[in-house]
């Protein structure tokens, strides 16, 4: 039995039968989320408790009515760079109004059903953006490994990296101790992930690394920088200052809000699509998810915390741990709240270098060369060039510029089809089968219409797809079709192709 039997559109009915599985999964997600919430806050240039507040809101509030029941929301590494720059340039007090406006934009986008358009963003752009963010996190958090603060830009951080290593000496002081703890964290984290017993496969490596480094710090009384959190998590809630509405007249605030709303929505909905591949339960309602994320970011703005997105690491842990309903996501927020409310002293024993080490590994994993190889092998040079240029622009300029340049480059894929950009989608019943025929060019411009049609097909209905009049398929649409074919095949409902084009046939194989 899947979650499809428990959750229906607009309705959430937790079942006692699945309570044990959701309870266990929520604990696993909580253990994964704790170090990441604090580490991402540190990478964003704000106190660790700001990330914890976002994690609590993402669980308790957004988890309760999200459009993707098994997706977990919280602070994301993908927004750490842009938040760091905002706090550096405009101050922490500007973050609240920016998030309030960004959240409102997301709610409005969800109301007007714009969620499907975010799926039309090229995978090359998204993965290039994530790779660029990964590089920036690695070169920034590298300095935290030495109990130092990141510099003002990615290029500055990159240039200063050799000096950090060359500055180490045999005279053991705080810098050397912090770097030692960072290496212990990375070694413990990677070693655990490689050699952990099957019975403990759900215990996250990040948690193991942080615990080992913390125990060493306490046992040896090491004098290194540690996490600073207030006695009460509620004391960390900082509502916007008086006159915050006037900030909306500031063009830089408007630009930042649009950037966060766009990037957070894209990351959330692409993460939700990835989560859908991991289970056979309820599929994501993208517009409902967008509205839920908007409400979450509105609340984060009023609480003075970090922005949130749907996050793939915590979401995949949730699915792998056996979660069946949204109860798991909600409970993980409750565990975070209970932990930081009752045991804040324990958090203050964690060395900052350990959190920096976790983020270095997290950033490194965002740089997915595997995806670049996949793009080259299946779609040729242009998507790989888009990926690489997006990555370089994110590192060399800023996140929004890199993404906009990448999106601009995807327009080049339209050039061969300028005379016939339209895609006609015909849909009808053919006996027991669901018949769909395509006529024209399948590009990212027409992807929302095509994906909406495919998503309407009943999961257990035979499908006949006629592509005899399909002129071409770009890589963005091809990736969406690949996911759809694989999902149908996994459910035991393969698609019958008619007028097979080689590219489509390869995707359906």
pLDDT of residue 8: 40
Residue where a domain stops, chosen among 330, 347, 364? 347
One domain, residues 202 and 296: yes
Query: Are 450 and 317 within one domain?
Result: no
What residue ranges in 182-334 does DSSP mark as E strands?
Answer: 309-311
Q: Is residue 452 part of a domain?
A: yes
Structure tokens of 357? Answer: 């080490």
- Listed in sequence order, the residues at least 6 apart from 345 whose beta carbon sits closer than 8 Å to its beta carbon are none
Does 433 lie in the same domain as 330?
Answer: no
Backbone angles phi, psi at 370, to 5 degrees: -60, -40
**Contact between residue 459 and residue 490 where contact means Cβ atoms under 8 Å apart:** no
Q: Are residue 339 and residue 428 in the same domain, yes or no?
A: no
Do 338 and 428 fall into the same domain?
Answer: no
Same-domain check for residues 225 and 337 = yes
- Mark which of 347, 373, 404 sits at the end of a domain: 347
Residue 134 lies in a domain: yes
The predicted structure's pLDDT at residue 11? 39
What local confidence, expressed as pLDDT, does residue 430 receive? 74
Number of domains in the chain: 2
Domain membership of residue 409 (yes or no) is no
- β-pair type (433-442, 423-430): antiparallel
Per-residue pLDDT tens listing for the chain (509 residues):
344 344 443 334 445 667 788 998 999 999 989 999 999 998 899 999 999 999 999 999 999 999 999 999 999 887 988 899 899 999 999 999 999 999 999 999 999 999 888 888 888 998 898 889 889 989 989 999 999 988 877 888 889 999 988 888 777 788 999 999 999 999 999 999 999 998 888 888 999 999 999 999 999 999 999 998 888 888 889 999 888 998 998 999 999 999 999 999 988 988 888 788 777 778 889 999 999 999 999 999 999 999 999 998 899 889 988 899 999 999 999 999 999 999 999 999 999 999 999 989 988 988 889 989 999 998 899 999 999 999 999 898 887 888 889 999 998 888 877 777 889 999 988 777 889 999 999 999 999 999 889 988 887 888 999 999 998 899 999 988 988 888 888 778 878 888 876 777 777 77
- Same domain as 432, residue 304: no
Residue 13's pLDDT is 46
Q: Is residue 379 part of a domain?
A: no
- CATH number of residue 491's parent domain: 3.30.750.24
Q: What is the C-alpha separation between 1 and 412, in angstroms, rounded?
A: 45
Q: Is residue 154 part of a domain?
A: yes
* Same structural domain, 202 and 339: yes
Q: 331 in a domain, yes or no?
A: yes
Asked whether the beta carbons of 297 and 306 are under 8 A apart, the reply is: no
Domain boundary pick from 347, 381, 396: 347
- Helical ranges in 68-204 per DSSP H: 77-90, 95-111, 115-118, 123-144, 154-166, 174-195
Asked whether residue 215 falls in the same domain as residue 76, the answer is yes
Assigned domain for 93 exists: yes
Name the pTM for this structure. Answer: 0.84
Using the 8-state DSSP alphabet, how is residue 283 labeled?
Answer: P
One domain for residues 323 and 188? yes
pLDDT for 223 equals 92
CB-side neighbour CA atoms (13 Å) of 139:
22
Residues 465 and 321 in one domain: no
Statement to judge: residues 174 and 297 lie in one domain = yes
> Which domain does 81 fall in, by range?
17-347
């Amino acid at each position: 039995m899947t979650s499809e039997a428990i959750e229906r559109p607009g309705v959430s009915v937790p079942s006692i039968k699945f309570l044990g599985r959701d309870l266990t999964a929520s604990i696993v997600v909580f253990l994964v989320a704790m170090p990441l919430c604090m580490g991402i806050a540190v990478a964003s240039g704000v106190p660790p408790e700001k990330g914890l507040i976002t994690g609590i809101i993402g669980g308790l509030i957004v988890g309760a009515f999200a459009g993707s029941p098994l997706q977990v929301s919280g602070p994301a590494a993908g927004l750490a760079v842009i938040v760091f720059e905002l706090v550096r340039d405009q101050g922490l007090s500007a973050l609240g109004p920016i998030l309030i406006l960004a959240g409102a934009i997301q709610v409005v986008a969800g109301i007007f059903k714009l969620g499907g358009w975010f799926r039309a963003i090229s995978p090359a752009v998204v993965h290039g953006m994530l790779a660029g963010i990964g590089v920036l996190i690695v070169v920034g958090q590298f300095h935290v490994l030495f109990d130092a603060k990141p510099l003002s830009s990615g290029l500055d951080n990159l240039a200063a990296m050799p000096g950090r290593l060359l500055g180490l000496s045999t005279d053991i002081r705080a810098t050397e101790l912090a770097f030692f703890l960072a290496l212990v964290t990375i070694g413990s984290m990677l070693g655990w992930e490689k050699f952990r017993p099957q019975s403990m496969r759900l215990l996250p490596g990040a948690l193991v690394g942080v615990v080992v480094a913390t125990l060493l710090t306490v046992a040896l009384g090491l004098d290194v920088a540690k996490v600073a959190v207030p006695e009460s998590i509620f004391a960390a809630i900082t509502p916007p200052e008086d006159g915050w509405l006037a900030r909306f007249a500031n063009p830089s605030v408007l630009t930042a809000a649009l950037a966060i709303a766009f990037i957070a929505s894209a990351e959330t909905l692409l993460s939700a699509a990835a989560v859908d591949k991991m289970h056979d339960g309820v599929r994501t309602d993208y517009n409902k998810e967008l509205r839920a994320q908007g409400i979450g970011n509105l609340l984060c703005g009023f609480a003075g915390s970090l922005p949130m997105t749907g996050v793939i690491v915590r979401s995949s842990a949730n699915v792998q741990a056996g979660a069946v309903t949204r109860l798991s996501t909600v409970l993980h927020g409750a565990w975070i709240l209970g932990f930081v409310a009752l045991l804040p002293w324990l958090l203050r024993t964690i060395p900052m270098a350990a959190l920096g080490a976790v983020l270095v590994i997290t950033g490194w994993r965002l740089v997915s060369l595997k995806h670049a190889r996949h793009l080259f092998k299946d779609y040729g040079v242009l998507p790989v060039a888009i990926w690489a240029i997006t990555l370089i622009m994110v590192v060399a300029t800023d996140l929004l510029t890199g993404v906009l340049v990448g999106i601009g480059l995807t327009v080049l894929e339209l050039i061969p089809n300028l005379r016939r950009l339209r895609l006609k989608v015909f849909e009808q019943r053919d006996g027991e089968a669901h018949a769909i025929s395509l006529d024209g060019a399948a590009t990212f411009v027409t992807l929302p219409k095509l994906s909406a049609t495919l998503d309407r097909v009943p999961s257990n209905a035979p499908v006949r797809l006629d592509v005899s009049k399909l002129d071409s398929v770009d890589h963005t649409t091809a990736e969406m079709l690949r996911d759809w074919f694989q999902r149908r095949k996994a459910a035991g409902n393969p698609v019958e192709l008619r007028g097979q084009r080689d590219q489509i046939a390869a995707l359906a194989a």
